[in-house]
Structure 1
Amino acid sequence: MRFRKPTVEPLEINLTPMIDCLLFLIVFLLLATSFNHFSRLNIVLPEAEGVAHSEQLESIEVAVQEDGSYLVNGISLADSSEAELTNMLRQEAGNERNMLFVIAADANATHQSVVRVMDIAGKLGFLNLNISTVVPMGQTLAP
Protein backbone atom coordinates (compact mmCIF):
# COMPACT_ATOMS: atom_id res chain seq x y z
CA MET A 1 0.00 0.00 0.00
CA ARG A 2 1.26 3.32 -0.98
CA PHE A 3 0.54 6.37 1.17
CA ARG A 4 0.53 9.87 -0.07
CA LYS A 5 2.83 12.36 1.52
CA PRO A 6 0.86 15.04 3.30
CA THR A 7 1.26 18.33 1.54
CA VAL A 8 2.27 21.20 3.75
CA GLU A 9 0.51 24.39 2.95
CA PRO A 10 2.73 27.48 3.06
CA LEU A 11 2.17 29.67 6.07
CA GLU A 12 0.72 33.13 5.45
CA ILE A 13 0.20 35.98 7.82
CA ASN A 14 -2.93 37.86 7.00
CA LEU A 15 -2.23 41.52 7.74
CA THR A 16 -5.63 42.86 6.77
CA PRO A 17 -7.23 42.67 10.25
CA MET A 18 -4.17 44.26 11.85
CA ILE A 19 -4.17 47.13 9.33
CA ASP A 20 -7.89 47.67 9.92
CA CYS A 21 -7.32 47.92 13.68
CA LEU A 22 -4.42 50.35 13.28
CA LEU A 23 -6.41 52.59 10.94
CA PHE A 24 -9.29 52.57 13.41
CA LEU A 25 -6.92 53.60 16.24
CA ILE A 26 -5.39 56.39 14.14
CA VAL A 27 -8.83 57.79 13.24
CA PHE A 28 -9.92 57.58 16.89
CA LEU A 29 -6.79 59.39 18.11
CA LEU A 30 -7.17 62.13 15.50
CA LEU A 31 -10.77 62.73 16.50
CA ALA A 32 -10.04 62.65 20.24
CA THR A 33 -7.00 64.93 20.16
CA SER A 34 -7.36 68.64 20.72
CA PHE A 35 -4.78 70.89 19.11
CA ASN A 36 -3.61 74.12 20.69
CA HIS A 37 -3.41 77.09 18.39
CA PHE A 38 -1.31 79.47 20.46
CA SER A 39 -0.28 81.43 17.40
CA ARG A 40 -3.91 82.30 16.71
CA LEU A 41 -4.56 83.76 20.17
CA ASN A 42 -4.57 87.51 20.42
CA ILE A 43 -4.08 88.36 24.07
CA VAL A 44 -3.72 91.77 25.65
CA LEU A 45 -2.14 91.98 29.08
CA PRO A 46 -2.71 92.94 31.91
CA GLU A 47 -6.47 93.68 31.72
CA ALA A 48 -8.74 91.11 33.35
CA GLU A 49 -12.15 90.69 34.89
CA GLY A 50 -12.31 89.05 38.25
CA VAL A 51 -13.20 89.16 41.86
CA ALA A 52 -12.28 92.29 43.79
CA HIS A 53 -9.12 92.09 45.85
CA SER A 54 -9.86 91.09 49.43
CA GLU A 55 -7.99 93.14 51.96
CA GLN A 56 -5.35 91.40 53.99
CA LEU A 57 -3.34 92.98 56.74
CA GLU A 58 0.09 92.15 55.41
CA SER A 59 1.19 91.86 51.82
CA ILE A 60 4.26 92.22 49.68
CA GLU A 61 3.89 94.01 46.38
CA VAL A 62 6.59 93.72 43.75
CA ALA A 63 6.24 96.21 40.91
CA VAL A 64 7.95 95.31 37.64
CA GLN A 65 8.58 98.41 35.57
CA GLU A 66 8.82 98.58 31.78
CA ASP A 67 12.63 98.76 31.85
CA GLY A 68 12.85 95.62 34.02
CA SER A 69 13.58 97.32 37.33
CA TYR A 70 11.80 96.28 40.50
CA LEU A 71 10.14 98.03 43.43
CA VAL A 72 9.32 96.05 46.59
CA ASN A 73 6.54 97.71 48.61
CA GLY A 74 7.38 101.00 46.90
CA ILE A 75 11.12 100.78 47.62
CA SER A 76 13.29 100.86 44.51
CA LEU A 77 16.10 98.30 44.27
CA ALA A 78 19.70 99.30 43.56
CA ASP A 79 19.88 96.91 40.61
CA SER A 80 17.66 94.31 38.92
CA SER A 81 19.63 91.24 39.95
CA GLU A 82 18.08 88.14 41.46
CA ALA A 83 20.27 88.39 44.56
CA GLU A 84 19.15 91.96 45.26
CA LEU A 85 15.48 91.06 44.81
CA THR A 86 15.82 87.94 46.98
CA ASN A 87 17.51 89.89 49.78
CA MET A 88 14.86 92.62 49.71
CA LEU A 89 12.00 90.07 49.79
CA ARG A 90 13.61 88.26 52.75
CA GLN A 91 14.03 91.56 54.54
CA GLU A 92 10.40 92.63 53.93
CA ALA A 93 8.81 89.25 54.72
CA GLY A 94 10.96 88.00 57.53
CA ASN A 95 9.86 84.44 58.29
CA GLU A 96 6.25 84.98 57.21
CA ARG A 97 5.44 83.14 53.94
CA ASN A 98 1.62 83.06 54.16
CA MET A 99 1.16 86.75 53.38
CA LEU A 100 -0.24 87.86 50.03
CA PHE A 101 2.44 88.22 47.36
CA VAL A 102 1.29 90.62 44.63
CA ILE A 103 3.10 91.12 41.33
CA ALA A 104 2.15 94.39 39.64
CA ALA A 105 3.82 94.36 36.23
CA ASP A 106 3.71 97.04 33.59
CA ALA A 107 1.92 95.88 30.42
CA ASN A 108 5.11 96.49 28.45
CA ALA A 109 7.43 94.72 30.90
CA THR A 110 9.25 91.69 29.56
CA HIS A 111 7.90 88.27 30.34
CA GLN A 112 11.33 87.28 31.69
CA SER A 113 11.16 90.00 34.36
CA VAL A 114 7.79 88.76 35.60
CA VAL A 115 8.84 85.10 35.53
CA ARG A 116 11.98 85.98 37.52
CA VAL A 117 9.82 87.45 40.31
CA MET A 118 7.51 84.40 40.27
CA ASP A 119 10.51 82.05 40.38
CA ILE A 120 12.09 83.85 43.33
CA ALA A 121 8.76 83.90 45.18
CA GLY A 122 8.43 80.14 44.63
CA LYS A 123 11.98 79.49 45.84
CA LEU A 124 11.37 81.53 48.98
CA GLY A 125 8.18 79.57 49.70
CA PHE A 126 5.43 82.16 49.27
CA LEU A 127 2.02 80.49 49.01
CA ASN A 128 -0.45 83.25 48.04
CA LEU A 129 0.78 84.54 44.69
CA ASN A 130 -1.40 87.09 42.89
CA ILE A 131 -0.87 89.02 39.67
CA SER A 132 -2.35 92.49 39.74
CA THR A 133 -4.49 93.42 36.74
CA VAL A 134 -6.60 96.33 35.59
CA VAL A 135 -10.35 96.11 34.95
CA PRO A 136 -11.09 97.38 31.42
CA MET A 137 -12.95 100.68 31.16
CA GLY A 138 -16.75 100.43 31.33
CA GLN A 139 -16.81 97.11 33.22
CA THR A 140 -17.46 96.54 36.89
CA LEU A 141 -16.48 93.72 39.18
CA ALA A 142 -19.08 91.24 40.34
CA PRO A 143 -19.62 91.34 44.12
Structure 2
Amino acid sequence: MNFRRGRQREEPEINFIPLIDLMLVILIFLMATTTYSKFSELKINLPTAAADKQEAKTVEIEVAVSSSGGYAVNGQRINFTDAAALAAELRRVANGQEPVIVVNADSNTSHQSVINVMEAARLAGFGRLTFATQTPQ
Protein backbone atom coordinates (compact mmCIF):
# COMPACT_ATOMS: atom_id res chain seq x y z
CA MET A 1 0.00 0.00 0.00
CA ASN A 2 1.40 3.24 -1.11
CA PHE A 3 -0.39 6.17 0.54
CA ARG A 4 1.86 8.77 -1.09
CA ARG A 5 1.17 8.26 -4.74
CA GLY A 6 1.48 11.77 -6.08
CA ARG A 7 4.27 12.97 -3.86
CA GLN A 8 7.90 12.51 -4.56
CA ARG A 9 10.37 12.10 -1.83
CA GLU A 10 12.40 15.27 -1.14
CA GLU A 11 16.12 14.84 -0.90
CA PRO A 12 17.70 16.44 2.16
CA GLU A 13 20.01 19.30 1.28
CA ILE A 14 22.80 20.87 3.24
CA ASN A 15 22.50 24.60 3.78
CA PHE A 16 25.99 26.12 3.45
CA ILE A 17 25.11 29.71 4.38
CA PRO A 18 25.35 29.23 8.19
CA LEU A 19 28.58 27.29 7.67
CA ILE A 20 30.07 30.13 5.64
CA ASP A 21 28.96 32.68 8.26
CA LEU A 22 30.60 30.65 11.01
CA MET A 23 33.84 30.27 9.04
CA LEU A 24 33.98 34.04 8.41
CA VAL A 25 33.55 34.77 12.12
CA ILE A 26 36.30 32.29 12.99
CA LEU A 27 38.56 33.78 10.31
CA ILE A 28 38.01 37.32 11.62
CA PHE A 29 38.68 36.15 15.18
CA LEU A 30 41.92 34.46 14.16
CA MET A 31 43.07 37.49 12.20
CA ALA A 32 42.34 39.82 15.12
CA THR A 33 44.09 37.70 17.75
CA THR A 34 47.18 36.77 15.75
CA THR A 35 50.14 39.01 16.33
CA TYR A 36 52.42 39.81 13.50
CA SER A 37 55.64 41.13 14.85
CA LYS A 38 58.98 41.76 13.31
CA PHE A 39 61.94 42.22 15.54
CA SER A 40 64.47 44.59 14.17
CA GLU A 41 67.57 45.19 16.15
CA LEU A 42 70.29 47.68 15.72
CA LYS A 43 73.50 46.27 17.12
CA ILE A 44 75.56 49.05 18.61
CA ASN A 45 78.30 49.31 21.18
CA LEU A 46 77.52 51.95 23.76
CA PRO A 47 80.35 54.01 25.20
CA THR A 48 81.37 53.47 28.79
CA ALA A 49 82.52 55.95 31.40
CA ALA A 50 84.87 55.26 34.26
CA ALA A 51 83.81 58.23 36.39
CA ASP A 52 81.71 57.74 39.49
CA LYS A 53 78.11 58.74 39.28
CA GLN A 54 77.47 62.02 41.02
CA GLU A 55 74.60 61.95 43.44
CA ALA A 56 72.17 64.78 43.01
CA LYS A 57 71.36 66.29 46.35
CA THR A 58 67.98 67.84 46.71
CA VAL A 59 67.43 70.63 49.15
CA GLU A 60 64.48 69.95 51.40
CA ILE A 61 62.60 72.55 53.38
CA GLU A 62 60.40 71.07 56.07
CA VAL A 63 57.32 73.07 56.95
CA ALA A 64 55.62 71.78 60.08
CA VAL A 65 52.01 72.74 60.78
CA SER A 66 50.58 72.12 64.24
CA SER A 67 46.96 71.39 65.04
CA SER A 68 46.60 74.87 66.56
CA GLY A 69 47.71 76.51 63.29
CA GLY A 70 51.34 77.24 64.21
CA TYR A 71 54.03 77.04 61.51
CA ALA A 72 57.70 76.09 61.70
CA VAL A 73 60.19 76.16 58.83
CA ASN A 74 63.11 73.75 59.29
CA GLY A 75 62.40 73.58 63.01
CA GLN A 76 62.24 77.35 63.58
CA ARG A 77 58.84 78.62 64.63
CA ILE A 78 57.52 81.54 62.60
CA ASN A 79 54.56 83.85 63.01
CA PHE A 80 52.16 83.37 60.12
CA THR A 81 50.57 86.56 58.89
CA ASP A 82 49.79 85.65 55.29
CA ALA A 83 50.96 83.37 52.49
CA ALA A 84 53.23 86.05 51.02
CA ALA A 85 55.21 86.32 54.26
CA LEU A 86 55.58 82.54 54.40
CA ALA A 87 56.68 82.57 50.75
CA ALA A 88 59.37 85.13 51.59
CA GLU A 89 60.56 82.92 54.44
CA LEU A 90 60.69 79.89 52.12
CA ARG A 91 62.74 81.88 49.57
CA ARG A 92 65.14 83.00 52.32
CA VAL A 93 65.66 79.43 53.55
CA ALA A 94 66.02 78.07 49.99
CA ASN A 95 68.95 80.43 49.39
CA GLY A 96 68.49 80.53 45.61
CA GLN A 97 68.16 76.78 45.11
CA GLU A 98 65.16 74.77 43.90
CA PRO A 99 64.03 72.90 47.03
CA VAL A 100 61.44 70.25 47.73
CA ILE A 101 58.88 71.55 50.22
CA VAL A 102 57.99 68.82 52.73
CA VAL A 103 54.71 69.55 54.51
CA ASN A 104 54.60 67.82 57.89
CA ALA A 105 51.11 68.51 59.22
CA ASP A 106 49.39 67.23 62.32
CA SER A 107 46.44 64.92 61.65
CA ASN A 108 44.10 67.41 63.35
CA THR A 109 45.36 70.39 61.35
CA SER A 110 42.74 72.32 59.41
CA HIS A 111 42.78 72.07 55.63
CA GLN A 112 43.24 75.82 55.36
CA SER A 113 46.56 75.66 57.22
CA VAL A 114 47.91 73.14 54.72
CA ILE A 115 46.51 75.15 51.79
CA ASN A 116 48.36 78.19 53.15
CA VAL A 117 51.64 76.30 52.88
CA MET A 118 50.80 75.17 49.36
CA GLU A 119 49.91 78.74 48.34
CA ALA A 120 53.16 80.06 49.87
CA ALA A 121 55.17 77.49 47.91
CA ARG A 122 53.39 78.56 44.72
CA LEU A 123 54.05 82.25 45.43
CA ALA A 124 57.71 81.48 46.12
CA GLY A 125 57.94 79.72 42.74
CA PHE A 126 58.60 76.24 44.11
CA GLY A 127 56.77 73.55 42.18
CA ARG A 128 57.95 70.46 44.04
CA LEU A 129 55.89 69.77 47.13
CA THR A 130 55.38 66.59 49.11
CA PHE A 131 53.62 65.52 52.28
CA ALA A 132 55.25 63.62 55.14
CA THR A 133 53.29 60.63 56.41
CA GLN A 134 53.76 57.97 58.99
CA THR A 135 52.89 54.31 58.79
CA PRO A 136 50.22 52.98 61.15
CA GLN A 137 51.57 50.89 64.00
* Structure 2: stretches of 5+ with no match in the other structure: 1-55
- Structure 2 counterpart of 1:34: none
- Structure 2 counterpart of 1:123: 123
Cα 1:82–1:122 change in 2 (3 A) is closer
Q: Which runs of 4+ in 1 moved over 4 A?
A: none
Q: Percent identity?
A: 38
The 1-side partners of 2:82 and 2:103 are apart by 17
The 2-side partners of 1:110 and 1:75 are apart by 21
Per the normalisation by structure 2, the TM-score is 0.54
Q: Look up the equivalent residue of 2:97 and give its one-letter code.
A: E
- Structure 1 counterpart of 2:136: 136
Q: Offset at 1:57?
A: 4.7
**Contact 1:64/1:70, CA 8 A, preserved across alignment:** yes
- Structure 1 counterpart of 2:112: 112
The 1-side partners of 2:57 and 2:135 are apart by 20
The 1-side partners of 2:100 and 2:86 are apart by 17
Per the normalisation by structure 1, the TM-score is 0.52
- Structure 1 counterpart of 2:89: 88
Number of aligned residue pairs: 82
Provide the aligned C-alpha RMSD in A. Answer: 1.9
Cα 1:89–1:67 change in 2 (3 A) is same
Q: Offset at 1:85?
A: 1.5
Deviation digits for residues 24-74 of structure 1 (CA, Å, limit 9, x no counterpart): xxxxxxxxxxxxxxxxxxxxxxxxxxxxxxx95521000011111100000
What SS class does the counterpart of residue 123 from structure 1 fall into? Answer: helix
**Contact 1:103/1:131, CA 8 A, preserved across alignment:** yes
What SS class does the counterpart of residue 102 from structure 1 fall into? Answer: strand
**More RCO (CA 8 Å, sep 6+):** 1
